[in-house]
Structures are given as C-alpha cells and as structure tokens.
Amino acid sequence: MNFRNIIKPYPSPIITGRGIDLDFPMLAGCLALLGLGLVMITSASSEVAAVQSGNTLYMMIRHLVYLVIGLGACIVTMMIPIATWQRLGWLMLIGAFGLLIMVILPGIGREVNGSMRWIGFGAFNVQPSEIAKVFVVIYLAGYLVRRQKEVRESWMGFFKPFIVLLPMAGLLLMEPDFGATVVMMGAAAAMLFLGGVGLFRFTLMVVLAVAAVTVLVQAQPYRMARLITFTDPWSDQFGSGYQLTQALIAFGRGEWLGVGLGNSVQKQFYLPEAHTDFVFSVLAEELGVVGSLCTVALFVFVCVRGMYIGLWAEKAKQYFAAYVAYGLSFLWIGQFLINIGVNVGLLPTKGLTLPFLSYGGSSLVICCACLGLLLRIEWESRTHLGSEEMEFSESDFAEEPNHGR
C-alpha cells in the first residue's frame, strides 16, 4: 500500500477553486448542538468542578479543549477521500479489535465507576468503544459493497458479518459496555437491511437479537435490577431508583420555560452524572419543555440530514459512501434515543453519552470526525468528484455550489 497516497492533498470541501463548499445546513445543525453542549456543560458541571478542582470552569475548559480537537478531526476527515477509507476498512477492523482487547487488559485499561472502558494517556482518557463503533461501520460498508449479491441472495452472505460482530460485541460486554453493544449491533442490523437483506432473514435477526438481549439482562443481577427499577423508580427512590427519580424531578422543575440558565438545583449533587449521561435532564430543568423540544428537533434534523446524505450518495451510485452515511446516522440515532429514553424514564438507566452535548472527550471527538465524514460524502456525491483515481483541474470546481437539495 502506498501511504503517500493517503496524505496526498486531494481536493476536498474546504480546498476548492471557489472556496469552502460544504453542506451548510448539516454543518449549522451540528455546530448549534456543539454550542449548546458547551453552554450546558459549563452550567451542569460548575458545582462538581468547584469541589474537585476549585475552579467552576474546569470542566468547561477541558470540554473546550476536546471541542477544538474534535473540530480539527472534522477538518482532517473532510480532506481524506472516501475511497481511502474503503481501502483501509480491514486495517480499521483490526485496529478496533486491538483497542477493545487492550482496554480489558490489567495495567492498560482504566477502571471508572466499575467499568474498564478507558485507556489512560496522562490527564486524558480514550474510550475505545467510540472508535470501534465507527470502524465497524466503515468495514461493514465495504463488505456490503464487495458482497452485495451474496448478502441479498444467500444465508452465508447474511451470516458472515456476524463472525466479526459477535466477537466484538463480546469484547464490549467484557468491559462491560452494554449500551455501546446495543448501539453498534443496531446500526449494523440497519445497514444490513438497507444493504438488501430479505425481510425474513432480517426478522429472524431481530428475534435473535431480542432473545440475546433478554438473556444478557437476566445474566447480570445489576442489569435486572435496573430493568425492574425503571418501571417504578419511586419504590426505591433513595437506592437503585435514585438517579432516575432525580432526573424526573429536574424535568418537573423545568416546566414550560425552565428555571433559567445556570439556576438548576439538581446539578448541585442531587443528580449524579449531571454533566455527562444526564445533561439532558439539567437542560430540561433550566430551559424547560420548549428548550428540550428545540434540542430534540435539532437532533432529528441532524440525523435525518445524515440519512439523506446517504440517499444522495446512493443515487450517485457511490454505495460505500451511502452505507457509511447510513451507519453513522444510525449510531447517532441509537445513542440519542437511548440517552433521551433513559433521562425521561422510558428505558433502564444506562451509561451512554448524548452525541455533541455530553461531556466526554472520546465521544465528542468521534462525533466531530463523523460529521467530517458525512460532509465529505455529501460533497463527493454532489460533485461526482473526490475519487483519487480521477484527474482534477480548476474547471472541475468552477460551478456554483448547490445546497438546495
């Protein structure tokens, strides 16, 4: 493999003869979520930061550093041709397995709140599951392109991806990270369905997945306790139901217009993980139902736009790019639905960040990198350029951009 081709400065959405040529609606939606996330992290983490470091802005500063790194990752991914990601899919899969094995090794993985989900690098922690989910999407997209006929017509083509997915799910469960496992397998199932898997085989896969989740929930007492508690958290509001009851109190205090930015009471050590997994509850308390619905609307817009980017790539016959866009969108949709569902009490409590909003360096940087990938896919499908096998000239970029899809 010629690695010089990987870093060759091919034209990109930010290097064209007519300046920056991006999908501005998608970019604006994600930047709005990133800005809102920075504001909410500043508010929700102030009390915790003051006690832990003596500086109420400590978490905000760290989040801002992660945000700058994330925007840098977004720019880098926009400059890499999609064909390059397709060629490196198998290396990414190996890398994903390597990271997930490293994180469960004693002395390498770092335990936080009873889970080995992080690899420490000085003052920063990297969460391999966030990287692995994206790498799986890229590898599976390549498989669906290479084996399209086999996937659509034979059982073997349908089962082959699970030779990779099931061991990876097992590694995630060893951390344990049940939420990441569900999101990854859900995105993979959706990609297989969009890749042409028949309805009968897809239904069978769903039935087996539900059965597997049932077994996994019953296999661990703490998961079973969460499942029982979330149906009636008030029955043990100072025990296993404490986190959910405090989140519901935050929603109740917020009413229609909220108590005002920075005026949350629940963030003052009543609601655990107020700036990470339950930041949406603090948002609901401070901005009310109106602010919560506007935030949900932003998420819906970004996720639907991501799906449309996949559709546009598919219409342009760029099938690998289309499957990647679908997969990344489903990763966001899965995390969004689970996190919001947990916050409002529709799902059992599960540690899963809210994309673009929650405090967490790995999640934020990977979300920004995924945004860069989606922007690159949209640009390549719209211009029919971006492939390194093509010869480019200044005239290729002379037309005015058209974002009115």
CA distance 373 to 134: 11
Confidence of residue 216 (pLDDT cuts 50, 70, 90): confident
Average pLDDT over residues 136-162: 88
The 10s digit of each residue's pLDDT in 181-210 is 989 999 999 999 888 887 788 788 888 888
pLDDT tens digits, one per residue of 299-329: 999 999 999 999 999 999 999 999 999 999 9
Confidence of residue 156 (pLDDT cuts 50, 70, 90): confident
- pLDDT value for 20: 78
Give the pLDDT mean for 240-245. 83
As a whole number of angstroms, the distance between CA 233 and CA 324 comes to 39
* Mean pLDDT calculated for residue range 232-247: 80
- What pLDDT is stored for residue 401 in this prediction? 47
Residues of the chain with pLDDT > 70, as a percent, come to 87
> Residue 118: is it exposed, middle or buried by C-beta count within 10 angstroms (0-12/13-18/19+)?
buried
Instruction: Average the pLDDT over 27-55 and give the result.
Output: 92
121-141 confidence digits (pLDDT tens): 766 778 899 999 999 999 999
Which residue type occupies 164? V
Enumerate the domain spans of the chain: 20-385
pLDDT of residue 252: 92
258-278 pLDDT, tens per residue? 999 989 999 888 888 888 889
Query: Which band of pLDDT confidence, cut at 50, 70 and 90, is reported for residue 31?
Result: very high
Nearest-angstrom CA–CA distance, 18 and 278: 43
Q: In what order do the strands lie in the sheet with 115-121?
A: 109-112, 115-121, 124-126
Other Cβ atoms within 10 Å of 280 Cβ, number = 25
Query: If you average pLDDT over residues 16-26, what whole number do you get?
Result: 81
Q: Which residues of 302-325 are buried (b: 16+ CB within 10 A; e: fewer)?
A: bbebbbbbbbbbbebebbbbbbbb
Q: Check the CA dihedral 104-109-113-117 and report its sign.
A: negative
Q: Is the pLDDT of residue 404 over 70?
A: no
Q: Kindly report the average pLDDT of the chain as a whole number.
A: 85
Find all residues with CB under 8 Å of 137, minimum gap 6, and list them.
Answer: 187, 188, 191, 323, 324, 327, 328, 331
Q: Rounded to an integer, what distance in angstroms lies between the CA atom of residue 318 and that of residue 312? A: 9
Whether residue 51 is predicted with pLDDT greater than 90 in this model: the reply is no
